[in-house]
Structure 1
Amino acid sequence: MSEQTTIPFNITSFAGETADALVKVLDSGWVTTGPQTAAFEQDFADYLGAAHVIAVASCTTALELCLRALDLPPGSAVLTPSLTFCGAINAILHAGHRPVLVDIDERTLVPSPETVAAAAARVRPAAMIVQNQGGYPVDVPALTEAAGLDRTRVIEDAAHGPGAGRDGRPVGADSFAACFSFYATKNMPIGEGGAIATSDPELNDRVRAMRLHGMSKDSWKRYLPGGNWRYDVKRAGLKANMTDIQAAIGRAQLGVLPGWQRQRAELVAGYDERLAGTPGLVLPQRELDGVQHAWHLYQVRVPDRDAIIEELAAAGVSTSVHFIPAHQMTLYREVLGAEECATVPVTDRVGEELLSLPLYPGLSADAQDRVVSALAKALRARS
């Protein structure tokens, strides 16, 4: 199968005005954190309906900054799903804390109040990270109550979240801390970058300083006409700021995001219709009352997953897996210990079956038909 006929797992799209926006930033003479970053923060806050947005270098640094801003005692227990990207676990470790695993509901692929309560019963959690796996918006208040935590101790990993919502409110609109990703494969790709949406003014002030070493003023404020070079550092921070180059791309991408989300929903409906009733296949959880799925991923469950991936690749269809459960990786097995790793049996079972199909704006009907045909053929051979 030639490269020209291969259906990629993802193609990164950019808004038509992206190039012009970049040229304007380059011509301005200011490319790091500055006026475009501030404008992007306001634009994204308006889109979410959030009180505050802080633009940062990545979702991973967003998670770590929020954990550090909580001022938890060193080594505190932080609840987290194991079915997550390794960066989310690293954020807990880099902040000086201890991950405690939460199992998932096999239909939604996110923790349920029951699995959170079971994990909280093993430890006394100081905080929790909840994740919108694949774009499915978790019920944050229900999980917060199940953990026995105050909302100011719950951080949302909304890397897959732009476009998702519950009860008519976008993910991040009312959050204490919701962390977004703008990585190249995400629903609103910039290439790299992240953001934190918060309703809490104190967290906003803390994280805004901490994203740039903890300095009281960034360089834009220091070098504005009439600005003063003096600054203070009151708490340790990270080098985690977004640049104006990234922010300019983000502002352009935000303008086309609603249209892209509609395309994703149409593609998901197409997958559902074409794949319904395929033997051996479990389709993703459909939208429930009050739940608006972002459809960052279209995750199916299949038997003999690795062999099917190879067969699809031979047919010119690229796929991916989200994710290898963290506790199955060498570092985290050593950090967590065998007893902790044994607490997530549903994650272990489902993690061996998950397969992410191509899903991105611009995926043609013909290409989608090829994906469906190749997958159905592989599954029929096993029925």
Structure 2
Amino acid sequence: MSHDAGKQNGRDVDRPSGDRVPFAVPSFADGVAERVTETLTSGWVTTGPQVAEFERDFAAYLGAETVVAVASCTAALELCLRALDLPPGSPVLTPSLTFCGAVNAILHAGLRPVLVDVDEDTLVPSEATVAEAAARTRPLAMVTQNQAGYPVDVPALARAAGLDRNRVVEDAAHGPGAARDGRSAGADSHAACFSFYATKNMPIGEGGAVATTDPDLADRVRSTRLHGMSKDSWKRYLPGGSWRYDVRNVGLKANMTDIQATIGRAQLAALPGWQDERAELVRRYDEALAGLPGLVLPQRNLDGVTHAWHLYQVRIPDRDAVIAELTEAGVGTSVHFIPISHMTEYRGLLGPDECGAVPVTDRVAEELLSLPLFPGLTGAQQDRVVSLLTGALRRRTALAG
């Protein structure tokens, strides 16, 4: 949820650009436009050879066995949940502190969300909160989430839920660049779903992918992303190919195009450098904001963990008023996320008891604030963010005293 409403691409049209600090600006690798032009003139722009190359490149980056590229992370989640072939209405554990699209994927797959609370420090579900949610029902699957880029311990959470790993779908939308015990997030997953949305660590604009160790799941997702057809257009029209195809399951229109994949291949090469920039920006935030009255820095157990730092989330009092003050000063911010339990539609679907089962989420959600964090954020811009936030919080501390 961006708080740059009323601005053009995050730009306050009445404010000098030097004073403005956008929440996020997508980065693009050198030469990406020329590579897109090559694809545009190649004669093939939909799912084809570039998608196949991107899948191989991204799998190599993750250290994963197989990657299937799709239209979005939301589509990836739904395709993976459908591939589990669970009975309609089966309970699926999910954090309440998540993006609405992740819960919509559960519902579109014909399943029932069961809300899981988060650990106050890491902002992701813990073994204890997963076990508590599992005790309220008998879950048949679980969707985990790498909130802000923190890679969760999937095997531990699966054990806490009483589930096999092949019943866990990982929402790794914030995951590129994250690792646990030396393995990239999603590398050893039955189903890990990635996002390449405009604000993500590896932006394409739109797009997603599924990483999996299961060749049957890969085949199912590959087919279901294109209506359930047994062969895509590229395979049908290759030399020696046949126009005949079958439909083996009812699928979606959720394929990635060669244009997107061309951008993705260039972006992937630039990702390690961008991750280094993010880590340095996080270090500067940590140093500048430490000890600020009323502010809680991002807390994380980094033993064996490489954080992707998709977001830099702090917790502050009087959050909404501080957002308004920063916005007025030309600083873009965001909130991740408005909990599912607070949304009108889900409250009606899930009921008050279910929505009332996540007290930590309810409390911390009113304090969360995501600060600008993107490659290319200058030291001067970051200093402006820190100065304005520091001033806003110190004024409130003085008034409270």
Identify the TM-score tier after normalising by the shorter chain: over 0.9
Pick one of 93, 99, 107 that aligns with 1:93: 107
Pick one of 289, 311, 314 that aligns with 2:303: 289
Amino acid at match of 1:42: R
1:158-169 counterparts in 2 under 5 A? 158-169=172-183
1:215-230 counterparts in 2 under 5 A? 215-230=229-244
Q: Is the 8 A contact 1:126 1:149 kept in 2?
A: yes
Q: Is the 8 A contact 1:80 1:100 kept in 2?
A: yes
Aligned-pair distance for 1:315? 1.8
Give the secondary structure class of the aligned counterpart of 1:179: strand
Residue equivalent to 2:376: 362
Residue equivalent to 1:190: 204
User: Is 1:278 equivalent to 2:278 in the alignment?
Assistant: no
Amino acid at match of 1:223: Y
User: Is 1:122 equivalent to 2:142 in the alignment?
Assistant: no
Aligned-pair distance for 1:6? 1.2
Could you tell me which runs of 5 or more consecutive residues in structure 1 were left unpaired when the two chains were aligned.
none
Q: Distance in 1 between matches of 2:284 and 2:171?
A: 28
Give the secondary structure class of the aligned counterpart of 1:80: strand
Amino acid at match of 2:242: N
Aligned-pair distance for 1:43? 0.1
User: Is 1:312 equivalent to 2:322 in the alignment?
Assistant: no
Residue equivalent to 1:150: 164
Give the secondary structure class of the aligned counterpart of 1:226: coil
Q: Is the 8 A contact 1:33 1:241 kept in 2?
A: yes
Q: Distance in 2 between matches of 1:145 and 1:34?
A: 39
Q: Is the 8 A contact 1:163 1:294 kept in 2?
A: yes
Identical columns (%): 75
Amino acid at match of 1:2: R
User: Is 1:351 equivalent to 2:353 in the alignment?
Assistant: no
User: Is 1:71 equivalent to 2:71 in the alignment?
Assistant: no
Q: Distance in 1 between matches of 2:23 and 2:168?
A: 32
User: Is 1:53 equivalent to 2:73 in the alignment?
Assistant: no
Q: Is the 8 A contact 1:136 1:295 kept in 2?
A: yes
1:298-318 Cα distance to aligned partner (Å, 9 max, x none): 000000000000111122211
Residue equivalent to 1:256: 270
Residue equivalent to 1:247: 261
Give the secondary structure class of the aligned counterpart of 2:209: strand
Aligned-pair distance for 1:287? 5.1
Q: Distance in 1 between matches of 2:252 and 2:65?
A: 23
Aligned-pair distance for 1:286? 4.0
Name the TM-score, length of structure 2 as normaliser: 0.95
Aligned-pair distance for 1:149? 0.2
Residue equivalent to 1:80: 94
Aligned-pair distance for 1:109? 0.4
Q: Is the 8 A contact 1:178 1:198 kept in 2?
A: yes
Give the total of aligned pairs: 383
1:304-343 counterparts in 2 under 5 A? 304-343=318-357
Q: Is the 8 A contact 2:122 2:301 kept in 1?
A: no
Cα RMSD over matched residues? 0.7
Q: Is the 8 A contact 1:287 1:293 kept in 2?
A: no
Give the secondary structure class of the aligned counterpart of 1:155: strand
Aligned-pair distance for 1:3? 5.0
Give the secondary structure class of the aligned counterpart of 1:186: coil
Aligned-pair distance for 1:184? 0.1
Residue equivalent to 2:15: 2
Distance 1:277 1:76, change over 3 A: same
Q: Distance in 2 between matches of 1:315 and 1:74?
A: 50
User: Is 1:40 equivalent to 2:54 in the alignment?
Assistant: yes
Q: Is the 8 A contact 1:101 1:343 kept in 2?
A: yes
1:246-304 Cα distance to aligned partner (Å, 9 max, x none): 00000000000000000000000000000000000000024511010000000000000
Amino acid at match of 1:373: S
Aligned-pair distance for 1:17? 1.4
Q: Distance in 1 between matches of 2:201 and 2:169?
A: 20
1:78-107 Cα distance to aligned partner (Å, 9 max, x none): 000010000000000000010000000010
Distance 1:259 1:287, change over 3 A: farther
Aligned-pair distance for 1:203? 0.6
Pick one of 281, 305, 319 that aligns with 1:267: 281
Q: Distance in 2 between matches of 1:199 and 1:377?
A: 50
1:10-68 Cα distance to aligned partner (Å, 9 max, x none): 01110011111101101101000000000000000000000000000000000000000
Q: Is the 8 A contact 2:121 2:300 kept in 1?
A: no
Residue equivalent to 2:314: 300
Name the TM-score, length of structure 1 as normaliser: 0.99
Q: Distance in 2 between matches of 1:314 and 1:330?
A: 29
Q: Distance in 1 between matches of 2:52 and 2:301?
A: 34
Q: Quick check: 1-10 or 96-105, which moved more?
A: 1-10
Could you tell me which runs of 5 or more consecutive residues in structure 2 were left unpaired when the two chains were aligned.
1-13
Amino acid at match of 1:98: R
Task: Name segments (4+ residues, structure 1) moved above 6 Å.
Answer: none
Q: Distance in 1 between matches of 2:71 and 2:31?
A: 23
Give the secondary structure class of the aligned counterpart of 2:50: helix
